[in-house]
Chains A and B, each alone.
Chain A
Amino acid sequence: ELFLQTAERYFMVGHRVTYYVFTDRPADVPSVPLAEGRQLVVLEVRNYARWQEVSMHRMEMISNFSRQRFLREVDYLVCVDVDMKFSDQVGVEILSPLFGTLHPSFFRAPRESFTYERRPQSQAYIPRDEGDFYYAGGFFGGSVAEVLRLTSACHQAMVVNQANGIEAVWHDESHLNRYFVYHKPTKVLSPEYLWDEQMLQRPPFLKRLRYVAVPKNHAEIRH
């Protein structure tokens, strides 16, 4: 509810927006009043036993629905986490064929300390001397065609990993990072676009916090 309310206030105001909410509990989706030209579509999907699986299957679901509907219905796709809220403007400055967001914990770190997947047997493997940035799994997007390519590639990689009995250290985020090393994004969003005020101290050069984590009780949600 907070996500949608703040999105109505800050996200792409003045543009046509369709929220695609993937859920296994359609009845629990709140009715938040939406401004003109904006609509909400509920896509019913299955749940998974482990939260890691839920996270990883996002890639599969986004790629499937992209093919089936998003290509025809929207121009750009923005894929974001729900346990967040918008706290300042997020507008057309983010749009680009393919964009990623800098993870707030790693934008100062040297590449060797990025939490990339480091096991060569994993499909998400990135060697220590490669990599530009550590991107966050919770905010990426682009044109529907590019997002389809990205999510399909990540999903394929995860299927192969599963067959080999290995799961990447940060799940879909590891695969996203690997994709971005070899398919450079055309635009990169600063950590203004994904921040956690509780975990991190805000540096002076971060002028605005636009999309921030909502404090949550992990144990309770993941039961």
Chain B
Amino acid sequence: MRCRRLALGLGFCLLLGTALCFLWVYVENWLPFSYVPYYLPCPEIFNMQLQYKGEKPFQPVTGSLYPQPKLLEQRPAELLALTPWLAPIVSEGTFNPELLHHIYQPLNLTIGVTVFAVGKYTGFLQHFLESAERFFMQGYRVRYYIFTDDPAAIPQVPLGPGRLLSTIPIQKQARWEEISTRRMEQISRHIAERAHWEVDYIFCLNVDMVFRNPWGPETLGDLVAAIHPGYYAVPRQQFPYERRRISTAFVADGEGDFYYGGAVFGGRVASVYEFTRGCHMAILADKANGIMAAWQEESHLNRRFLSHKPSKVLSPEYLWDGRKPQPPSLKLIRFSTLDKATSWLRS
């Protein structure tokens, strides 16, 4: 009699234990992730492993006719075409757009663009998107990701075939420096959660700019940086790097290749993820030490590009300051600032 009751009791406990285990696992997966203070990195999100998307093999380039490349003819008085680490520096005259189109078009790539339009900056979207529709990656699938605090303010710009726009709602921050700096975190998060499923390459661009000439597959590469228009002819000691040793963005006097602009960077989606994540970590470390780098995330971007060299560099044609006169060495300005009075925007 007692044996049976004991057996029954044990069996019931076992059943209850198993049921509790299942319930625990279920609940654990169902509970939404609870908020962690901003300054503490959360391992779940920031260490997301991206799914491996297989490398696309080179497709044969079918009969495209063009003049023979000349090994011995130097391009007179032109920009450097190759960095010391053998990355191409892209400018008009270094590439054949039709040939590149022949090579890249069959790969069926999707190019993502992240752009932040917070507060009054939504006013720039009309010109940005209209010019992008005219000049950016014509003939390719494009996905615009507009990060904004005011989705209603996004203008209705007609998009060409294969081109889509997504709105990513974000919170507006009190200071414009905060808005700027948070971009690295938001981009890396967005890539991990969404973009890496949807695009092959991604560019992170400033919104207060306009495309003026074609921007095509010559810009595609594993990790792409653009040279800042204000510093391309300036010695490295005068680059506005962060010079305080305490900052993670510190660059010493004798170091530096180019001063890259924070308004344009991009590459393969997995590489941009690693890049933005690295920048964000460095920004967090500075934040913990109560310091903000001289040019916000642009300082961190420059620090990172120093140790993780870009595989391709875009000449200032791809990031120009509309207020500066066009020098003879730059043949074709493709992307430049829209004139704006900064003070009213940042109020």
Contacts and interface: CB of A to CB of B under 8 A. Distances in A.
B57 A130 contact: no
Contacts of B71: 102, 107-108, 133
B62 interface: yes
Contacts of B63: 130
B68 A110 contact: yes
Chain B contact residues, majority secondary structure: loop
Contact of B65 (A98, A130, A133, A187): A130
B60 A183 contact: yes
Interface in B33-92: 57-58, 60-63, 65, 68-69, 71-72, 86
Contacts of B65: 129-130
Contacts of A107: 71-72
Contact of A133 (B57, B60, B69, B86): B69
Interface residues of B, number: 13
Bin chain A's interface residue count: 20 to 34
Given A93-B86, A130-B65, A108 B60 contact: no
A183 B68 contact: no
Contacts, number: 35
Q: Which of B58, B60, B62, B65 has the most CB of A within 10 A?
A: B58
B86 A182 contact: no
Contact of A98 (B58, B69, B86, B103): B58
Contact of B61 (A98, A108, A184): A184
Interface string A167-203: 0000000000000011110010000000000000000
A182 B69 contact: no
Nearest to A131: B68
B331 to A, nearest CB: 23
A182 B62 CA distance: 6
Contact of A182 (B57, B61, B72): B61
A149 interface: yes
B72 A108 contact: yes
A97 to B, nearest CB: 8
A132 interface: yes
A182 B60 contact: yes
B104 to A, nearest CB: 11
A146 interface: yes
B176 to A, nearest CB: 41
Nearest to A205: B72
A55 B60 CA distance: 25
A129 B69 CA distance: 12
Nearest to A183: B58
Contacts of B69: 132-133
Contacts of A184: 58, 61, 103
Contacts of B58: 97-98, 146, 149, 183-184
Interface in A141-165: 145-146, 149
Contact of B68 (A132, A149, A182): A132
Nearest to A143: B55
B192 to A, nearest CB: 26
A205 B74 CA distance: 12
A220 to B, nearest CB: 35
Contacts of B61: 181-184
Nearest to A102: B71
Interface in A103-148: 107-108, 110-111, 129-133, 145-146
Interface in B264-323: none
A93 B82 CA distance: 13
A153 to B, nearest CB: 9
Nearest to A108: B72
Contacts of B68: 110-111, 131-132
B113 to A, nearest CB: 25
Contacts of A110: 68
A98 B103 CA distance: 15
Interface string B174-185: 000000000000
Contacts of B60: 182-183
A97 B82 CA distance: 18
A93 to B, nearest CB: 6
Given A97-B58, A133-B69, A184-B61, 12 more contacts: A98-B58, A108-B71, A111-B68, A129-B65, A130-B63, A132-B69, A146-B57, A146-B58, A182-B61, A184-B58, A184-B103, A205-B72
17 contacts: A102-B71, A108-B71, A108-B72, A110-B68, A111-B68, A129-B65, A130-B63, A130-B65, A132-B68, A132-B69, A133-B71, A145-B57, A146-B57, A149-B57, A182-B62, A183-B61, A187-B86
Interface of B: 57-58, 60-63, 65, 68-69, 71-72, 86, 103
A-B interface, 8 closest residue pairs, ranked by CB to CB distance from nearest: A182-B60, A111-B68, A183-B58, A107-B71, A182-B61, A132-B69, A183-B60, A129-B65
